[in-house]
Amino acid sequence: MTTTTETTTTTDAEMTAERTTGGTRPARVDFAKAAPKAFKALIGLDAAAREGLDPALVELVQIRASQLNHCAYCLHMHTTDAHAAGERPERINLVGVWEEAGEAGFYTAKEQAALALTEAVTLLPGGVPDEVYERAARHFEEAELARLIALIFTINAWNRIAVTTRKVPGKG
């Protein structure tokens, strides 16, 4: 499709570039449209991972992984969702320094264990250290821990899709 005005002609690719990158970079694939089965499968995995987990914890994990992955699109989405769900701004703002803020009482021991596991799984600095895994295992029952791990690798997948396809924060 081509849209023509008096002075310009806009192609589908250019409209996609405007929508996905604010017009500042070349357009990249629309993952949901180009790979709908993979997209739907990831949505299903995401929903299954969240099941039974505290919604506040879910957002904190997704915010922290998105920070580590430099995914502005997901970071914007999950901080917005956390605010809308009633999460305190201080907790959202301090998640990047959760260890220090945890010492000041901003995060529970369970949340701190989840955030430590999020960092270890996201960064994989030679694997997930036993002490990080065992810390999380002390706070989460086995099935809950498995869903937390699934949540962490799901947000990492979303981050990688958004970064690779240059999704723009605040734009669908």
In tens, the pLDDT along 109-157 reads 999 999 999 999 999 988 999 999 999 999 999 999 999 999 999 999 9
By the 8 A CB rule, do 91 and 106 touch? yes
Average pLDDT, integer, range 56-66: 97
Q: Give the pLDDT band of residue 62 (cuts 50, 70, 90).
A: very high
pLDDT for 125:
80
Average pLDDT, integer, range 4-15: 37
The average confidence (pLDDT) of the chain is 88
By the 8 A CB rule, do 165 and 72 touch? no
The DSSP call for residue 128 is -
Strand partners of residue 2:
11
By the 8 A CB rule, do 16 and 152 touch? no
- pLDDT at 35 exceeding the cut of 80: yes
Least confidently predicted of 14-23, 64-73, 106-115: 14-23
Q: Tell me the pTM.
A: 0.83
Least confidently predicted of 18-22, 29-33, 153-157: 18-22
By the 8 A CB rule, do 64 and 78 touch? no
pLDDT for 5:
36
